[in-house]
Amino acid sequence: MKAATLRAPRQWEFVDVETPEPGANQMRVRLQQVALCGSDMPDYHGVAPSYPVAPGGSGHEGIGLVEACPSGKYAEGERVLLWGFDRDNGLFQEAVLTHDEGLLRLPVEETPEKVLMSQLLGTVIRPFRKIPQIINQHVVVLGQGPTGQLFDSTLRNLGARSIIAVDPLDYRLDVARRSGATHTLNPLRDDIESGVREITQGAMADIVVEAVGDADTYRLAADLTRRNGTVIGFGVPDKAGHEGEIQLPLLHMQRREIRLVMTVNAGDNPYDDYATALDWICQGRIDVEHLITHILPFDQIQPAFELFANRPVDERPVKVVLQY
């Protein structure tokens, strides 16, 4: 079967690997769709421990059909949600082995790209289990990629008073309005701190979501947060040289008693968060289909990553998905 591997930074190629046979407590799933994620970018930009990266790469947002399940716990042809980050079994390949229990079954009557978003939405839902009050809160979301857009939608669903979307790309801000943002600010022309102060009538933000993964935006997040407010740290550093580490304005945050909630996945029991996400999507409480702007065939993984990483304005990319 075909698998993709990062031969070197920013250089994907395909290799032939044997179709894996499931062992005890395993089943084989044939991939249908896999979405590119911001957390795929560090390896792509050059910070993987070594190259080439194992076949399958860092792919971890996917759905597929059960192809073989010796235990019979899942029926052949059932659609399931795949998650997790496993460098030895990434989803950028035609089929993978996974555990034969605990996977979320997906309704076949829904379009694949719609239920695919359950994985990312589930990770966005996670931090709000740690924050008791969202109703009537002022919230700023820094970064309006796919994750930021889902934060907008989730905050609207949970009753935030104002949802202030911040991004330097106007087309993303246009999408943010549809996703649930009540206000938008572009740092290339707006003074963000002044804008947030005006929108909140001087109160500043109760919660700021950092969905970029950059030291400058963490500093901005702290500046925008009121005393005793909360910063949600979700963004993943994606450039070579970061090596997963960024400098945080800790003293500044300590003096203002700002709470920092760090998260990037769905916790110890991801099933609950993904199941909640699937319910919200299928009930129509959150619209996700408008976020998927590009669906490319699996053999176009190289241009797909270039599109996702470079974000050409004329292409207006938000979420990029590979079709198998």
What confidence score (pLDDT) does residue 135 get?
97
CA distance 214 to 98: 33
Domain boundary among 224, 246, 262: 262
Could you read off the pLDDT of 31-78 as tens digits, one per residue?
999 999 988 998 999 988 899 999 999 999 999 999 999 999 999 999
Buried b / exposed e along 262-272 (16+ C-beta atoms within 10 A):
ebbbbbeebeb
Say yes or no: 147 and 171 in one domain: yes
CA distance 225 to 203: 9
Say yes or no: 244 and 298 in one domain: no
Tokens for 51, please give them. Answer: 């190259």
Could you read off the pLDDT of 226-276 as tens digits, one per residue?
999 999 999 987 654 445 677 888 888 999 999 999 987 766 667 889 999
Say yes or no: 257 and 274 in one domain: no
What confidence score (pLDDT) does residue 241 get?
47
86 has pLDDT over 50: yes
- Name the DSSP letter for residue 42: H
Domain boundary among 217, 241, 262: 262
pTM: 0.93
Could you read off the pLDDT of 115-158 as tens digits, one per residue?
999 999 999 999 999 998 999 999 999 999 999 999 999 999 99
CA distance 205 to 222: 10
Say yes or no: 271 and 251 in one domain: no
Backbone angles phi, psi at 113, to 5 degrees: -65, -25
- Name the DSSP letter for residue 128: G
Strand partners, 16: 2
Say yes or no: 231 and 272 in one domain: no
What confidence score (pLDDT) does residue 245 get?
73
CATH number at residue 109: 3.90.180.10
- Give me the sign of the Cα torsion angle 142, 145, 146, 147: negative
Any domain includes 70? yes
Say yes or no: 192 and 139 in one domain: yes
User: Do 233 and 263 touch, CB atoms closer than 8 A?
Assistant: yes
CA distance 146 to 166: 13
User: Do 160 and 181 touch, CB atoms closer than 8 A?
Assistant: no
One-letter amino acid for residue 160 of the chain: A
Any domain includes 126? no
Any domain includes 175? yes
What confidence score (pLDDT) does residue 89 get?
79
Mean pLDDT of 179-183: 98
CATH number at residue 225: 3.40.50.720
What confidence score (pLDDT) does residue 102 get?
86
Number of domains in the chain: 2
Write the CB contacts of 310 (distance below 8 Å, at least 6 apart in sequence): none
User: Do 237 and 81 touch, CB atoms closer than 8 A?
Assistant: no
Domain boundary among 230, 262, 294: 262
Say yes or no: 104 and 200 in one domain: no
Tokens for 203, please give them. Answer: 């109160």
What confidence score (pLDDT) does residue 298 get?
98
What confidence score (pLDDT) does residue 247 get?
82
Say yes or no: 253 and 273 in one domain: no
DSSP states of 137-167: -EEEEE--SHHHHHHHHHHHHHT-SEEEEE-
One-letter amino acid for residue 198 of the chain: E
Secondary structure of 247-290 in the HEC alphabet? CCCHHHHHHCCCEEEECCCCCCCHHHHHHHHHHHHHCCCCCCHH
Domain holding 39, by residue range, is 2-121+267-323
